[in-house]
Amino acid sequence: MSNFNIKAGYITYDVNFITYDANGFITSNCNSITFINYGTNTCTIETVVLQQNQSLSIDGNAGEIMNKQFLATFTGAGTNNLVTIKKNYI
């Protein structure tokens, strides 16, 4: 059974914005996640390469939760700035 609240036909959720500047794993545990590369360095999410100002979105259906750790790596001599936007049920 999913862990979410239904109020008058709606599912309640929150949105989190998190910035990363080093290589590592990003835990999803959310319904949808968007990765945006605001840095000057190339950022790779698993095997998807994001250039500056490119984004990758992964959306779930209502009531679904994604439990994945995404590997994010930066390459280049510029700045690292990856922003994630996560939709979490509350």
Domains identified in the chain and CATH numbers: 10-89 (2.60.120.10)
Task: Give per-residue pLDDT as tens, 22-70.
Answer: 999 999 999 999 999 999 999 999 999 999 999 999 999 988 999 999 9
Phi-psi region of 84 (alpha: psi -120 to 50; beta: other; left: phi over 0): beta
Q: Which residues contact 8 (CB under 8 A, 6 or more apart)?
A: none
pLDDT given for residue 82 in this prediction: 98
